[in-house]
Amino acid sequence: MMKSNDENKFYQNDDSDIKPDENGNFYWKCFVCGAVLKQKEKPEYCPLCQKEETFFFKIDPETENIRRNL
């Protein structure tokens, strides 16, 4: 049981220390097409490639190179 949890955590990005911005928004990145969405909840679908939420992971704007000027 313990081992299974650890493995899960290994495969999921460890995003537990990522803080939202001042408005409570997180940055969510689609790893299929690379789209970055800024919102509070995990996106249900990617607006670009239509993939579902399992393809999103939370990124930290402080450490991730976000193309802010898009």
As a whole number of angstroms, the distance between CA 35 and CA 42 comes to 13
| Calpha distance 43→67 (Å, rounded) | 19
3-class SS of residue 14:
coil
- Residue 49 near Zn ion by CB under 5 A: yes
Burial classification of residue 58, based on how many CB atoms lie within 10 Å of its CB (0-12 exposed, 13-18 middle, 19 or more buried): middle
Q: Would you give the binding string for Zn ion spanning residues 12-41, x where CB under 5 A is met?
A: ------------------x-xx-x------
Tell which one of 14, 40, 48, 53 touches Zn ion (CB under 5 A).
48
Q: Please identify, using beta-carbon distances, which residue of 9 and 50 lies nearer to Zn ion.
A: 50
Residue from 27, 29, 46, 59 binding Zn ion (CB under 5 A): 46
Binding site for Zn ion (CB under 5 A): 30, 32-33, 35, 46, 48-49
